[in-house]
Amino acid sequence: MLTAVKQFDRKTREGILAKLALELGNPFADSSRTEEKVSDQEIYIRILDEIKERLNLNRPSISNEFARARVFEYLGNEIRQLALDSNHIAEARRRLGNKGLLSSRGYTVKFGPEFIDLSEPLGLPRSDVASVIATADLIEHLLPDHKGQDESNAVSLFVKTYQHAPDPYSILVDGNRKGAEIAVRCGLRIFHSDVDVTNVRSPLDLLRAFIDRFGHEFSVAQKTGKFFLYETIQIASPMASQKLVEFRQDAGQSFDTLIAFRKAGQSAVEIGIAYVINISQYAASLLQHGIRVTRKDIKLG
């Protein structure tokens, strides 16, 4: 703790140091604030002298870029220690994660059973998916509360595009976001020669384009479509007595159902995201592109 401010309580210390930092130069804040008369000049001088001494900046010159940066960093660390209780960091990260404000590398990546069973044997290793999440070109964190839904249905989509590969493609990752964790539900290698990506501007656009090409129509409680996103659907009878998702089983074809939902009382379900892939067509396309498909459950016609 800086001796110059040790007589003050924690909150006051934080305020003094914050004000000093803003006095030193603030490219962001209202410039009129720096015009304020500073009644605490003396204490600021003592703080700066102490910091310079601690940092061994023996020839202190605040205009010197190196010394200035060191002083700023020291001040920043002091303010952070006062303002951010270390016991609160995990909870703050969880909140940031839910809001989609963590950096991609800030999320812990886990692989859900759907990914392990359905996507990985389509030639998409976990390491590739982790790399896509960490270095995505496009990220879309969809916010369920904007649609009046529970945060357990938070969907995050990540896309990495390999435009300069001989056979250009993108990898799209669909994950369930829970705080600072992404549980990967589905990974798709999407070749641009298979899917019309002309108007794709976002991960959601790419998923919709993929579904246009490889999706299969299905029904959720009498509502029919190829793709559902953040919809609350009324159900006529208790869910246990009916299948949530129904679709036409074409002969010689296999289908993967990807659905994130939660019950909302006895008579409704909240769909986070739902789509059905004609996996026979998709796997056949991957094989044509030279991708090793090891799933045994797919009928390839």
Residue 38 found at the interface with another protein (CB under 8 A):
no
| Shortest distance in whole angstroms from residue 204 CB to another protein | 19
Phi-psi region of 148 (alpha: psi -120 to 50; beta: other; left: phi over 0): left
Q: Based on the shown chain and the rule CB under 8 A, indicate whether residue 75 belongs to the binding site for another protein.
A: yes
138 binds another protein (CB under 8 A): no
H or E stretch covering 263: strand 255-263
Q: HSE (CB half, 13 Å, CA atoms) of 41?
A: 5
C-alpha dihedral sign at 124, 130, 131, 135:
positive
140 lines the binding site for another protein (CB under 8 A)? no
Instruction: Single out the residue of 15, 60, 121, 168 in contact with another protein (rule: CB under 8 A).
Output: 15
Q: Integer distance in angstroms from the first to the last C-alpha of the chain?
A: 72
Binding-residue pattern over the window 84 to 103 for another protein, x denoting contact by CB under 8 A: xx--xx--xx-xx--x-xxx
Nearer to another protein, 59 or 292 (CB): 59
Residue with smaller CB distance to another protein, 84 or 165? 84
Q: How far is residue 156's CA from residue 52's CA, in Å, rounded to a whole number?
A: 46
- CB closer to another protein out of 94 and 147: 94
Q: Residue 43 interacts with another protein (CB under 8 A)? A: no
Gap between the Cα atoms of 75 and 266, Å rounded = 55
User: CA triplet 184, 188, 192: central angle to 5 degrees?
Assistant: 150
Taking CA atoms, 93 is separated from 89, 97, 194, 229, in Å, by: 6, 6, 39, 26
**Planar angle of CA 291, 173, 94, nearest 5 degrees:** 150
**Distance of closest approach, residue 264 Cβ to another protein, in angstroms:** 27
Kindly tell me which residue out of 7, 9, 31, 58 binds another protein, with binding defined by CB under 8 A. 31
Is 63 a residue that touches another protein (CB under 8 A)?
no
For residue 51, state whether it binds another protein (rule: CB under 8 A): no
Among 68, 126, 147, 208, binds another protein (CB under 8 A): 68
Binding site for another protein (CB under 8 A): 11, 14-15, 17-19, 21-22, 25-31, 34, 65-66, 68-69, 72-73, 75-76, 79-80, 83-85, 88-89, 92-93, 95-96, 99, 101-106
